[in-house]
Amino acid sequence: MKTEQLRHLRRAVLAVAGAATLILGLAAPSQAADPVLRDLATAKGRYIGSAATASELNISSYAALEGTQFNSATPGNEMKWESVEATRGTYNWTGGDNLVSFAQAHSMQVRGHTLVWHSQLPNWLTSGTFTNDALRALLVKHVTDEVTHFKGKINQWDVVNEPLNEDGTYRASLWYNQLGSSYIADALRAARAADPAAKLYINDYNTDGTGSKSDGMYNLAKSLLAQGVPLDGIGFQGHLIVGSVPTTVQTNLQRFADLGLDVAVTELDVRMTLPATTALLTQQKADFKSVVSACLAVSRCVGVTVWGLGDATSWVPSVFPGQGAANIYDENYQPKPAYYGVAEALGWTGTVPVPTASCAVTYGVNQWNTGFTASVTVKNTGTTPVSGWSLTWTYPSGQKVTQAWNATVAQSGTAVTATNVSYNATIAAGGTQAFGFNASWSGSNPAPTDFKLNGTACS
């Protein structure tokens, strides 16, 4: 009761703080600021969350965005069984407690993730031999102890994670193999008993749109509800691929909501085959926007959580080789088009800032009496990739390019233009491309001072 009153008080204080910020914002209209996702979500009656691991919270840019842009946090790993009980009988709550403290300090709610899963289990559990009764008792004890430890601090628990195969049947796991599907109901009952106020979820991936796996989840949810098992919501992870977001997300979420359940997008990221190009990032914006919009179109969709907020620390490249750039902030914690897609879905109507190209050029020559070889490296110092490039400069002292490699070089009088070839068209944010050429000179051979990348002057 007291905690609930405190929460209301905190919300009221926040609302006042929010109003003050708004007034300040109006007083200084010339200062274009990025939208605050949590304010937009709150205005829509939803939350917007982001996962964070302990090490991510140690990155100041990460923590700053986590605590200001989002009003829900999910621990990336710190509440998983291998994290909390690596040694049988010895609990380590430090990572989870720190995440909860961070969330409370920033007026965020917490999604507990996750109590029963086939993955990230401690060795003593996966390599041990247990009778069925002993295993069931271990499961119930784990759920009870963890939910009790965090009681009153967790808004939603992913009680069971990823119980299904792609065809909608039960996934073979330590739990299913020995206990059958009843482990799911047991875990939910234990969680309810330990913290009656927490909303209890089953969470899975590739259930975002309609299909066999989603049908399996639907049937599971329906049968649990019919048996009176305490189940409050279904989590849809939303680990998606650029340009391949299912078109049925809204329809799918709605059918679960129609069972009387809450629904939430719990781990949204939209990966692409690297390198990121402007076209892919534009598609990614549309993809994030469509998922958030689908949630908003379903009144029981309580919120959306993104699985990490910046590309620098995403789990994607390690699990899907060659893929990445799946998040709404880039490697340098700058907002990507996808961030504005989320904001637009949440009702923001501002103008998406056009990123200005910025570049640095290194120019070196090896010269002899009449000729020289030049090596040029162009670096994209901006935060978005450059796809397709032209580097221009002038040769006021009469130098003439005769032959080039790794670029097509054209010269008209003193004006020179080097254009990418097919295999080096993209310069990743922070990345470089290099090319070279032979040229002639006489008199003097000064280095150019006026390099421009796609029309923008470089340093």
Q: Which active-site residues does the annotation give?
A: 162, 267
Q: In this structure, are strands 109-116 and 72-75 parallel, antiparallel, or unpaired?
A: parallel
**Residue 156 touching ligand XIL (CB under 6 A):** no
Task: Looking at residues 48 to 87 of the shown chain, list those that interact with ligand XIL (rule: CB under 6 A).
Answer: 76-77
Residue with Cβ nearer ligand XIL (52 or 280): 52
Question: Which H or E run contains 415?
Answer: strand 415-419
Report which of 345, 353, 352 is spatially closest to residue 37, judged by C-alpha positions. Answer: 345
Q: How many residues bind ligand XIL (CB under 6 A)?
A: 6
Distance (Å, whole) CA 375 – CA 363: 6
Dihedral of CA 339/340/344/348: which sign?
positive
CA 146/CA 285 separation, integer angstroms = 37
Q: Give the residue, chosen from 267, 287, 311, 330, that forms a contact with ligand XIL under the rule CB under 6 A.
A: 267
Pick 163 or 436: Cβ nearer ligand XIL: 163
- Minimum distance, C-beta of residue 241 to ligand XIL, in the bound complex (Å): 14
Q: Which two tokens stand for residue 117?
A: 């899963």
Indicate the DSSP class of residue 324.
Answer: E
CB hemisphere CA count around 72 (13 angstroms): 25
Residue showing the smallest CB distance to ligand XIL in the complex: 315
In the complex with ligand XIL, the residue whose CB is nearer, 55 or 223, is: 55
Asked if 291 and 240 touch (Cβ cutoff 8 Å), the reply is yes
**How many Å apart are CA 48 and CA 266, to the nearest integer?**
10
- Which residues sit opposite 269 in a β-bridge? 239
Least distance (Å) between residue 268 CB and ligand XIL = 11
Q: How far is the CB of 127 from ligand XIL (least distance, A)?
A: 20
Q: Does 341 bind ligand XIL (CB under 6 A)?
A: no
For residue 237, the minimal CB distance to ligand XIL (Å) is 6
CB of 117 to ligand XIL, least distance (A): 7
Separation between Cα atoms, residue 264 and residue 243, nearest integer Å: 21
Please tell me whether residue 161 binds ligand XIL under the rule CB under 6 A: yes
Smallest distance, Å, CB 119 to ligand XIL?
7
CB nearer to ligand XIL: pick between 53 and 71:
53
Q: Is 207 in the site for ligand XIL (CB under 6 A)?
A: no
Question: Is residue 237 a contact residue for ligand XIL (CB under 6 A)?
Answer: yes
Which structure tokens are listed for 50? 């982001």
- Candidate list 175, 315, 393, 437; residue touching ligand XIL; CB under 6 A: 315
Secondary structure tally for the chain: helices H, strands E = 15, 21
Amino acid 5 reads Q
Nearer Cβ to ligand XIL (308/448): 308
Q: Dmax of the chain from CA atoms?
A: 92
Q: Would you state the structure tokens that stand for residue 434, as one six-digit string?
A: 């290099």
Binding mask 390-409 for ligand XIL (x = CB under 6 A): --------------------
Minimum CB separation from ligand XIL for residue 317, in Å?
A: 11
Q: Decide if 342 contacts 65 (C-beta within 8 A).
A: no
Q: Whole-angstrom Cα distance, residue 458 to residue 398?
A: 22
Please identify, using beta-carbon distances, which residue of 83 and 399 lies nearer to ligand XIL.
83
Nearer to ligand XIL, 209 or 238 (CB): 238
| Sole residue written with tokens 């990823």 | 162
What SS3 state is found at 275? coil
**Site residues (vs ligand XIL, CB under 6 A):** 76-77, 161, 237, 267, 315
